[in-house]
Structures are given as structure tokens and as C-alpha cells.
Amino acid sequence: DAKTTQPPSMDCAEGRAANLPCNHSTISGNEYVYWYRQIHSQGPQYIIHGLKNNETNEMASLIITEDRKSSTLILPHATLRDTAVYYCIVRVYNAGNMLTFGGGTRLMVKP
């Protein structure tokens, strides 16, 4: 699996968009970008994933650069409940494979 680099922490004002970056410069052609988050004392929660096209669902948008070496997770209107650690993972899509979480970004949404 390709290594990812994320900032250790970020702040965001409530109601504003939260943009969380992830660098994955060694990504290979068949590796997907996944985002999970973990709210304190809960299990990880799947957010979104993509290969090369931008993706959007009810939780977030995922923007992947054309060279696929970086991506941005966008929470369009952050709420206090979005305060969590966000993990960017790059791996070959195979739902049977294990996940490896790195350090992640601790997002603090402030009123």
C-alpha cells in the first residue's frame, strides 16, 4: 500500500467548509484513495473513496488531482459533530484486505 502524509491537526469554524489534504505521491495505478474518520470512543467510520474521478456522497466530496499524487476531502458545512481524526488510506481495492491506518488529521470544529 502507498504511504500517505496528512497534517496532524486542523481547525475549522462551524458552518464553514473543512478541506483536509492528503499526499500520496507513490500511489500506483490500481490503488484507490479511501477516507475514514474516527470520533472519540467510537469505531472508524467509512466516508468516501475514489480512484481518479472526483466523488461526492451525502457526507463529503473527494477531489483527486489529475496526477493522483494528492487528494482533498471536503466537508462542505462542518458541524461540531464532525470533530474527529480523519484517515486517508491508499490501497488496492479488495474488500477482503486489511486496512492500515496512519496518524491521520485531528480536525477540531469550533463554534
Strands 18-23 and 70-75 come out as antiparallel
Closest to 79 in 3D by CA, of 108, 47, 36, 44 = 108
- Give the C-alpha separation, 34 to 41, whole Å: 21
Work out whether 45 is an interface residue with other proteins (CB under 8 A). yes
Give me the least distance between CB of 101 and other proteins, in Å please.
4
Residue of 8, 29, 30, 43 interacting with other proteins (CB under 8 A): 43
Give me the least distance between CB of 16 and other proteins, in Å please.
27
Residue of 12, 34, 62, 73 interacting with other proteins (CB under 8 A): 34
Residue partners of 66: CB distance under 8 A and separation at least 6: none
Which residues contact other proteins (rule: CB under 8 A)? 34, 41-46, 49, 93-96, 98-103
